[in-house]
Amino acid sequence: MLALGATPLAWADDAPAKEDGRVGDLAPVAREAPQDATQLSRADQLNALFKQLKGAGSEDEATKIENSIAAIWMKSGSDTVDLLMTWTEDAVHDKNYGLALDYLDRVVTLKPDYAEGWNTRATVEFLNDDYGRSMADIERTLKLEPRHFGALVGLGTILQDIGEDKQALKVYRYVIDLDPHLTNVRDAIKDLTDKGADGRDG
């Protein structure tokens, strides 16, 4: 399991959730990068967007910024990888998780430095209830993109599901520090705090 202080993790409010209503998953949110940021380096774009995200004045504004961040993460720089990711999306839509994982195995082999490949594979493994493999791929995602709020929410959700409420609470609090506008994460923090996961009575 990944220590929060070492390499933190993330998932988004509007990412597709499991049917049982758990907080979220690791799926990407958008595919097109913001055009007004094209003159900046990728790192500068992300730094600027995360700064804007913290200061967003409304949920609508925050959602647009989250989508812009996710769009940058989605860019693979490879037509082959982009095609495999599109096929993966179709397979997940059809709930053909085995086929989706076959495509994603090829993605991470072809482009191991592409965080969204690991992140999406972690999502499919989560949907397939394979928490061990999902956690391993979350770790790979976060080594490449330590602020990946999609992967972090996924980590928190898995920790909750396996009864590690105290660790889940730490992860969710880290996510909210990155993005104060994730309502589902705020709700999860309140629920866990009420249960005494922070060491205090609810």
Q: Is the pLDDT of residue 104 over 80?
A: yes
* Cβ-based neighbours of 40, under 8 Å, separated by 6 or more: 48
pLDDT value of residue 91: 98
Phi, psi of 54 (to 5 degrees): -65, -30
Looking at residues 43-58, what average pLDDT do you find?
95
- The C-alpha atoms of residue 160 and residue 190 are separated, in whole angstroms, by 13
Residue 118 in any domain: the answer is yes
- The C-alpha atoms of residue 181 and residue 201 are separated, in whole angstroms, by 26
147-200 pLDDT, tens digit per residue, is 999 999 999 999 999 999 999 999 999 999 999 999 999 999 999 999 987 876
Looking at residues 12-21, what average pLDDT do you find?
43
CATH of the domain at 52: 1.25.40
**DSSP state, 94?**
T
CB-based burial label for 43 (10 Å; 0-12, 13-18, 19+): exposed
Looking at residues 10-18, what average pLDDT do you find?
40
Residue 182 in any domain: the answer is yes
- The C-alpha atoms of residue 93 and residue 98 are separated, in whole angstroms, by 12
- The C-alpha atoms of residue 25 and residue 17 are separated, in whole angstroms, by 6
Note whether 115 and 176 are same-domain residues: no
Note whether 50 and 84 are same-domain residues: no
Domain limits for position 192: 46-75+150-197
Q: Are 33 and 71 spatial neighbours (Cβ–Cβ below 8 Å)?
A: yes
